[in-house]
Amino acid sequence: MENRIFSVAIDGPSGAGKSTVAKGVAKRLGVVYVDTGAMYRAMGLKAVRLGIPADCAEQVIPILDATDISLGFSEGAQHVFLDGEDVTGLIRTQEISNAASKVSAIPEVRRKMVGLQQKLAERTSLTMDGRDICSYVLPNAEYKFYVTASPDARTSRRYKELAEKGSLNGMTFGELLLEMHERDARDSGRECMPLKKAPDAILIDTTYLSIEESIEAVMRCIKE
């Protein structure tokens, strides 16, 4: 698309489809896709493995310096490494998702991850999705979007995703909806880099859009 390095920043709540959209846009533009949530999931996984409460800053902060989290890209796919181990296939359970949401509220954790994410954007053109990309991680990104959907739509997508992976573990739709509300409150209510729509981000509501329609909505805005 362009010879210079540029960034597409996409924020939004869980289940809105922002990662799927960001991947699709990256493929259309021929650039790298960066899933920042995977980095927090890796940190959440480490806390779970160590038996540390993911929301306990006093226990999480001391292990930060000894924790190495990095991203690798192979054949267009992102891989996340925790202390040298490829944990890409281990971080998509609901348990790790909740741990990631909790650990990400710790300011020291966010500062560590944001620094890594900003270095990536300095080196290569990319699409990057998360909850604080437009406002904090890449405030000077050329293209900014806030991808959202209704709570019911987001829960339905997450429920289907977990069911297909066999990861529901008996969880009902109602329980998942409640968990979604709790996560939204946690993400938007935290003091450090909360989830919010940046004033200059374009709103994309995917409630009634297919994946292709959602990707196309973003691409139209970029082309314009």
Cα–Cα distance, 128 to 145 (Å, whole number): 10
Report pTM. Answer: 0.83
- Cβ-defined contacts of 26-31 (< 8 Å, 24+): 26/126, 26/127, 27/76, 28/215, 28/219, 29/1, 29/125, 29/127, 29/222, 30/1, 31/1, 31/124, 31/125, 31/126, 31/127
pLDDT in tens, 166-193: 888 889 999 999 999 998 998 898 888 8
pLDDT in tens, 190-216: 888 888 999 999 999 999 999 999 999
- Tell me which CATH code domain 7-223 carries: 3.40.50.300
Spatial contact of 123 and 180, defined as CB atoms under 8 Å apart: no
Give the residue extent of every domain in the chain: 7-223
Section 7-33 average pLDDT: 94
